[in-house]
Structure 1
Amino acid sequence: MRLSCSSVYVTERVIFALSVAVLCVCFLLTLVSYVSIVAAILRIPSASGRAKTFSTCGSHLAVVTIYYGTMISMYVRPNAHLSPETNKVISVFYTMVTPLLNPIIYSLRNKDFIEAVRTVMRRKCGVCGPRAKGSFSLG
């Protein structure tokens, strides 16, 4: 923008305003939907049902937070004084890291996947000793 040899003040302000409008409104709508989801979960009578549902929501909320956090930090700022390298790193996070995290986060919730990881770890490096019944941790 600075190469245009004109004032970039108005352009930066318009980009900032549109970014706030689009990203923050979408993020707030997502948060409102999570509040209603949590309210519905709290009405589930069984504690195990609530725990399982909260676990699913927690995984998804982690990915959503990373996505919106990087997008907001990239676009919702009054002036673009970060270095191009920093902008590239932030862009990689919301374009590549977040989509790559989805399958990883959701597969870690799968019992068969966790058992397969344990088996591979035991064979390769002797990690992950005998598992306690009902334990799903990788370590």
Structure 2
Amino acid sequence: MLILGGITALYFIWLLFRAAALTLPLYAGAGAALLLHDQGYGLAAVLAAGFMIGLVVQLTGQLFYTSIRSPLLRALVALLFAGPAGFAGYQVVTGLAGLAIDKGVWLDGLALAGGLCTASSAWRGLGRAGSDEQGESVPLTRTARVSIPASRA
């Protein structure tokens, strides 16, 4: 039971950091869902709209990041996603480590490290949108290359 509890705790922490890396799309989707709920829409419409808004924000960010060639603009788009993710990661580590460690320098250092890890995870996740398994850049449109062998006479 102890091993299963440890595996469950590690999986839960992984889920928290994965969700923290998607903070901006989750926040946009939740904000849209709450706005629609306040307007009187039903539960199905609220959930569908929140999911779609979050998906559109994530895909738009990935599209901008992969299509923009200017390093400064790419960094600004990445910071737009990594900033909220870093803050969420900081808060997650503060909450989890605060259960075992008293407030102080160690807790702040661990929380800062967790925030930086989560921000870098969000930055890498944004950059992975336009790469294949080996990390090489994949163009948005592939051109077919036809190779015609020279015929021998």
TM-score (norm 1): 0.27
TM-score (norm 2): 0.25
